[in-house]
């Protein structure tokens, strides 16, 4: 296998007619990193992957793989390999010839290319199926063959376009573990496009959260989870409540904001200007149920929904000008003092659990 290479994107943009799919994106993916590009449909993550692969032309900017600028190189000369969402296996070829196909196109001798293909099928625990055709395989087996075919060129980086989306939920979890194990054993850089927060959290060393063609945050999974950079990240990751309002006071290293419905909330911070619009986030599992809040650190509201999830219970509460604030309680705590829809309950959180979010420059 080739050694891993870092990937550098420098002010990379992609424009389709009047639409800008990727806006001057700058990103460094260290060598040997498992990176997930995460975001909703249409956020630019697949366009970014295809530009790295050489399957889309870059409108402006540069891409570097290791020490080489690959911006204008054809896909076959970049040192990357791409595994497509559809797997794109040849139905009329057996697994060895599917895996060996790119080496055949390069003129590699038959015995040499088939030997290397068989080695990769062994790596994927698929050698027993070497003489079969793709239609005789399950989805998970087809995925392993597609991975072997991508890896046969000894790429410095493997690019994966939603590789788990076609699999059933149980197989997704199993293949997730196999992908992580494979990347660790090969040591090469993986760039993986997904719209699944859970998938990105489970796999990535580096999560790049994208929205509307821009990077909202690029950080380790724990940082993205615990310290979302923007309101979009906090909402998209699904583990934070976002409270938006205008600053009415800033003193003693605490900012007070007022939401349009009249409620007032506090968060640690300084140097904020009265009238400034800010967002604060509070993790759903840090919201306490049934404890009277300190000033600006909670409210009493009406329960609108209770959702039992086994180990946890999710409550949705309206009040203080906030619609649908979420609290997650462990089942033991909740059932010690259960509440139902229509009940009035106090919610509270600690001062350090309220964080002021940043904003992207538009």
pLDDT digits (tens, 9 = 90+) for 61-83: 999 999 999 999 999 899 999 98
* pLDDT beyond 70 at 257: yes
Which residue spans of the chain are classified as CATH 3.40.50.300?
7-226
CA distance 2 to 151: 10
Which top CATH class is 239-356?
Answer: mainly beta
Which residue spans of the chain are classified as CATH 2.40.50.100?
239-356
Bigger pLDDT: 150 vs 303: 303
For 314, residues 6+ apart whose C-beta sits below 8 A from its C-beta are 284, 305, 306, 307, 326, 327, 328
Give residue-wise pLDDT tens across range 215-250. 999 999 999 999 999 999 999 998 999 999 999 999
Give residue-wise pLDDT tens across range 276-328. 999 999 999 999 999 899 899 999 999 999 999 999 999 999 999 999 999 99
Give residue-wise pLDDT tens across range 179-222. 999 999 889 999 999 999 999 999 999 999 999 999 999 999 99
Which among 310, 311, 345 has a CA at the least distance from the CA of 326? 345
Residue 264 · residue 254 · CB < 8 Å: no
Which pLDDT band, with edges at 50, 70 and 90, does 270 fall under? confident
CATH superfamily of domain region 7-226: P-loop containing nucleotide triphosphate hydrolases (3.40.50.300)
Three-state secondary structure call for residue 221: helix
What percent of the chain is predicted at pLDDT more than 70?
99
pLDDT score, position 1? 47
CA distance 145 to 175: 13
Which pLDDT band, with edges at 50, 70 and 90, does 2 fall under? low
Question: Burial of 16 by CB count in 10 Å (0-12 exposed, 13-18 middle, 19+ buried)?
Answer: exposed
Indicate the helix (H) or strand (E) that contains 318.
strand 312-319
* pLDDT beyond 80 at 36: yes
* pLDDT beyond 60 at 261: yes
Strands in 140-286 per DSSP E: 157-161, 189-194, 206-211, 214-219, 240-251, 254-258, 264-268, 277-283
């Amino acid at each position: 296998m080739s050694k891993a290479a870092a990937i550098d994107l420098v002010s990379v943009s992609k424009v389709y007619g009047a639409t800008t799919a990727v806006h001057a994106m700058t990103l460094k993916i260290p060598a040997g990193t498992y990176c997930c590009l995460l975001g909703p449909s249409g956020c630019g993550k697949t366009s970014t992957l295809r530009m790295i692969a050489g399957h889309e032309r870059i409108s402006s900017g540069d891409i570097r793989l290791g020490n080489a600028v690959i911006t204008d190189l054809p896909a076959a000369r970049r040192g990357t390999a791409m595994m497509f969402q559809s797997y794109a296996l040849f139905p009329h070829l057996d697994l060895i010839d599917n895996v060996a196909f790119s080496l055949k196109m390069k003129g590699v001798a038959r015995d040499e290319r088939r030997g290397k293909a068989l080695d990769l099928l062994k790596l994927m625990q698929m050698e027993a199926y070497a003489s079969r055709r793709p239609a005789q395989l399950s989805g998970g087996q087809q995925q392993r063959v597609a991975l072997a075919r991508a890896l046969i060129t000894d790429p410095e980086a493997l690019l994966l376009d939603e590789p788990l989306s076609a699999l059933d939920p149980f197989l997704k979890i199993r293949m997730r573990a196999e992908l992580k194990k494979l990347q660790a054993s090969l040591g090469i850089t993986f760039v993986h496009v997904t719209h699944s927060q859970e998938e990105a959290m489970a796999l990535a060393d580096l999560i790049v959260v994208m929205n509307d063609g821009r990077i909202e945050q690029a950080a380790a999974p724990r940082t993205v989870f615990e310290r979302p950079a923007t309101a979009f990240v906090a909402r998209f990751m699904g583990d934070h409540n976002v409270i938006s309002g205008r600053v009415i006071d800033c003193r003693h290293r605490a900012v007070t904001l007022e939401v349009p419905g009249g409620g007032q909330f506090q968060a640690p911070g300084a140097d904020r200007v009265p009238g400034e619009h800010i967002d604060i986030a509070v993790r759903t599992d840090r919201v306490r149920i049934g404890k009277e809040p300190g000033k600006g650190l909670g409210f009493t509201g009406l329960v609108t929904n209770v959702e039992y999830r086994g180990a946890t219970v999710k409550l949705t509460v309206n009040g203080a000008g906030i619609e649908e604030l979420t609290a997650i309680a462990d089942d033991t705590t909740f059932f010690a003092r259960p509440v139902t829809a229509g009940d009035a309950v106090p919610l509270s959180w600690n001062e350090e659990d309220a964080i002021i979010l940043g904003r992207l420059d538009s």
